[in-house]
Chains A and B, each alone.
Chain A
């Protein structure tokens, strides 16, 4: 119990710490409003040009809410991976290893502490934007909300562990910023942030549905606008599998990397 309590306390102190930057990340939410406004203009035009009420079975209302949910996952992302990346490169990680905790779980607790405040503030902004731009979500039932939140949090956690794995490559690779760039673009495209993957050509859809990127953003966003228990129980276990896989990968990378740690000097 005490062993578990330490990780809870790390989350708590991270939450307190993130509140210090409250106004800073609240200002980041202005970007959320801006990007959603651009998306609204874009998709309004596309729907008008196509003279259709629904694309890939999503109405304009559904499309705007879908995009809000995908943005919610990525904008609530913590910057811990950049810190881990810098810590490994500069050797500062050495000063975090002399405590009795598991480093990967320490990072995860840190993420939990930060995501709480970020997700909460972004959700308020997202809700306001959605209601103003598109109105309430069509056919939404509050009974489904806990399952949507569960999927959303799992998506955020997969995203976190993928970023952590990429950051931990700095044990071996001198410059790994390209990995983050490529990953963010993969999330943007194959993760369905640009458009739902249902609008992709058949062959790309079938590839995307097997990739982890869709389970970060597409799956929770799609469940939010078009929930069914069938699709939830079909996709949520896959989300959990990906979460487990990337957690294990992070533990492995860390375990191997820390043995090769090269921290020369004080």
Chain B
């Protein structure tokens, strides 16, 4: 069952423009000029109940604008959105009881107060019963391991601790859908992993639909089953991660270490790095047989170690962008 239905969604912003210099400044007083920016341009997609969907794009691609329209913060210029059977723009308040949002760069916790104060306030805002709120806080304290952070002012928490509290705060009211806008931004590898585990747990145990935007390929690879890639406000790809990898991941990287320096006889190989006793080779499996490449490499000398890896998702995404580059529109303008 689809919990989010987006059809032909568009959002156009009017931005004031001004010619450079003093003359331009004077002119803009009397004849202000505006330019229309199509932040979201005719996108359509659906999200199934319990799905973890990655919504990927470069800065200014239209990700956050789309989330803001799906949460009722912004009104679409045209097109339609249905979230849990509701129209976000006209039923924002009703919808907000059923959805949660985490904007990685913005906090919903009161900066100078301990998280518990914010949790209690959110409990009142979402009109939770006292008993239910208490038991929910206890559960989240345990799941998110934030029990010992609850009485420390938010400003004193590390970024990782704060994000854990942010996510816990956003699911206090047991939302059916949670919108995570770059939840792991600025976090170190260990904390990122922790956050990913928590998101997976949330999805599995509470069947929460997760709508995730992230620049981190690891988030997408480890969490999501499907990805929508947008660029210049348009959907350029809507595929399962598996398919994405299958279609775009036909390149493998072989790292091979010998016990002494070797001479590579096969001149068809795409050698990325050659240190003599350690070689990095890229193989396009659509053109070359990986088995043949491996056996020719093994024949070159005594192998100490061999690793076959896939290029990171980020490379795949940038490849897709290059494939779909729609002219030379200004990315920053969006």
Query: What residues make up the interface of A, taking CB atoms closer than 8 Å to B?
Result: 2-3, 5-6, 8-10, 13, 16-17, 20, 92, 94-95, 97-101, 174, 259, 261-266
Is there an interface contact between A266 and B113, defined as CB atoms closer than 8 Å?
Answer: no
Q: Which A residue sits closest to B60, measured CB to CB? A: A265
Contact of A20 with B112 in the complex, beta carbons under 8 Å: yes
Whole-angstrom distance from the CB of B163 to the nearest CB of chain A? Answer: 15
Question: Total contacts A to B, CB within 8 angstroms?
Answer: 87
- Give Cα A13 to B105, complex, Å: 22
Of B95-103, B134-142, B217-225, B277-285, the segment with at least 4 beta carbons within 8 Å of chain A is: B95-103
B127 close to A97 (CB less than 8 A): no
Complex Cα–Cα for A2 and B126 (A): 9
- The answer to whether A3 touches B334, judged by C-beta atoms less than 8 angstroms apart, is no
Main secondary structure of the interface of B (DSSP, over half): mixed
- C-alpha spacing A97/B95, complex, angstroms: 12
> Which residues from B are CB-within-8-Å of A259?
75
A interface majority secondary structure: helix
A3 B63 Cβ-Cβ under 8 A: no
Give chain B residues whose Cβ lies under 8 Å from the Cβ of A261. Answer: 73-75
Cβ contact within 8 Å between B117 and A266? no
When the two chains form their complex, are residues A266 and B64 in contact, meaning their CB atoms are under 8 A apart? yes
**7 more A-B residue pairs beyond the given contacts A17-B113, A262-B14, with a C-beta to C-beta distance below 8 A:** A8-B124, A10-B121, A94-B74, A98-B99, A99-B96, A100-B93, A262-B13
Interface residues of B in 9-37 (CB under 8 A from A): 13-16, 37
Given contacts A9-B125, A16-B117, A99-B125, contact A264 B110 (CB under 8 A): no
Interface residue B255 (Cβ < 8 Å from any Cβ of A): no
- Give min CB distance, A24 to chain B, whole Å: 11
B181 close to chain A: CB less than 8 A: yes
Chain B positions within 8 Å of A17 at CB level: 110, 112-113
Which residues, 61 to 97 on B, are CB-close (under 8 Å) to A?
A: 63-65, 68, 71-75, 92-94, 96-97
**Contacts A/B (CB < 8 Å), 5 sampled:** A6-B125, A13-B121, A95-B103, A97-B72, A98-B73
B106 contacts partner chain A, Cβ-Cβ < 8 Å: yes
Chain B CB within 10 Å — which of A6, A9, A266 has the most? A266
The yes or no answer to B108 lying at the interface (CB within 8 A) is: yes
Q: Tell me the bound Cα distance from A185 to B259 in angstroms.
A: 84
**B219 vs chain A, min Cβ distance (A):** 15
A103 to chain B, nearest CB (A): 10
Nearest A residue to B96 by beta-carbon distance?
A100
Within 8 A of A (CB), among B106-153: 106, 108, 110, 112-113, 117-118, 120-122, 124-127
Across the interface, which residues of B come within 8 angstroms of A99, CB to CB?
96, 122, 125
B49 within 8 A of A: no
- Cross-chain contact of A265 among B65, B71, B93, B117 (Cβ < 8 A): B65
Shortest beta-carbon distance, B86 to chain A, in Å? 13
| Complex Cα spacing A94 to B122, Å | 17
Could you say which residues of chain A place their CB within 8 Å of the CB of B110?
A: 13, 17
Please name the 6 residue pairs, one residue from A and one from B, whose CB atoms are nearest each other, closest first: A266-B64, A9-B124, A2-B127, A20-B112, A100-B96, A6-B124
B39 adjacent to chain A (CB < 8 Å): yes
Q: Shortest distance in angstroms between A227's beta carbon and chain B's nearest beta carbon?
A: 38
